[in-house]
Amino acid sequence: MVSCDGLKILSNIPLSVSLFQTSFGKSKNSKPMSHELRQIKELKTNYKKAGLDSINISLDTLKPDKYEFITRRKGWSRVLAGIDLAVQLGYDNLKVNVVVMKNFNDDEILDFVLLTRDRPIDVRFIEYMPFSGNQWNNTKIMPFSEMLTKIKEAHPDLLTLENAPNDTSKAYKVPEFKGQVGFITSMTEHFCGTCNRLRLMADGSLKVCLFGNTEISLR
């Protein structure tokens, strides 16, 4: 994500897959830093120079079998390794986006909160929104208020954090946890009036709103 004069441009252009698909393993012959990790550290420097200042990762489940059902491929462990690697590489603004659906992954909300205990990441719970092809129906929506209640029952000392005027996420934090959680309430408490996001797509098009179909070609 690159910011300029208050406007935030979110890029949908994928980074090198090696950044997120690195697996780690130790053996008695292993060295403190592998050649592959050194290469990725060099990539991180190049990304920083290019203006990359944050990373968003989509992960709707912490269960490997459910991950495979959603994505139709294996790779859950690589995603978790990628999150930890991004933390190691010094990306302070690391967001993990979780689309919450009733009777599908709402039982994992507290597990995602625990993900922030030892990691300085921002887990953002997103209300299920209608998109083309996602078989949306309102019975799958779990409102922000219900998610917050569930978390407060387990963590009654949950802190409310201050949000910037154009933030799309409502931020909270469990005391003593390194990271924080947030809620993107597009369905129950929309924020269209203060949104300042533009999305740069991989094909060179600029998308003004995720809910709209209008795109502007920059090519």
The residues, any chain, with a CB within 8 Å of residue 121's CB and separated by 6 or more, are 83, 87, 94, 95, 96, 115, 179
Q: Considering the entire predicted model, what is its pTM?
A: 0.75
The pLDDT of residue 135: 67
CA angle in degrees (0–180, nearest 5) for 174-167-21: 70
Nearest in space to 168 (alpha carbons), one of 147, 190, 152, 146: 190
Lowest average pLDDT, out of 45-49, 76-80, 187-191, goes to 45-49
Who wins on pLDDT, 141 or 108?
108
The pLDDT of residue 193: 74
Q: Any idea which residue has 């991004």 for tokens?
A: 86
Cα-based distances in Å from 33 to 4, 37, 136, 186 = 36, 6, 45, 42
Nearest in space to 147 (alpha carbons), one of 100, 96, 97: 100
Contact 112, 125 (CB under 8 A): yes
Provide mean pLDDT across the span 174-184. 96
Question: Coil, strand or helix: which one is 137?
Answer: coil
Lowest average pLDDT, out of 33-37, 48-52, 96-100, 158-162, goes to 33-37
Helix (H) or strand (E) holding 109: helix 109-114
Q: Any idea which residue has 């995602």 for tokens?
A: 112
The pLDDT of residue 50: 74
The pLDDT of residue 99: 93
Which residues face 10 on adjacent strands? Answer: 199
Q: How many helices (H) and strands (E) are present in the chain, helices listed first?
A: 5, 11
Domains plus CATH for the chain?
39-188 (3.20.20.70), 193-218 (no CATH)
The pLDDT of residue 45: 63
Provide mean pLDDT across the span 39-50. 64
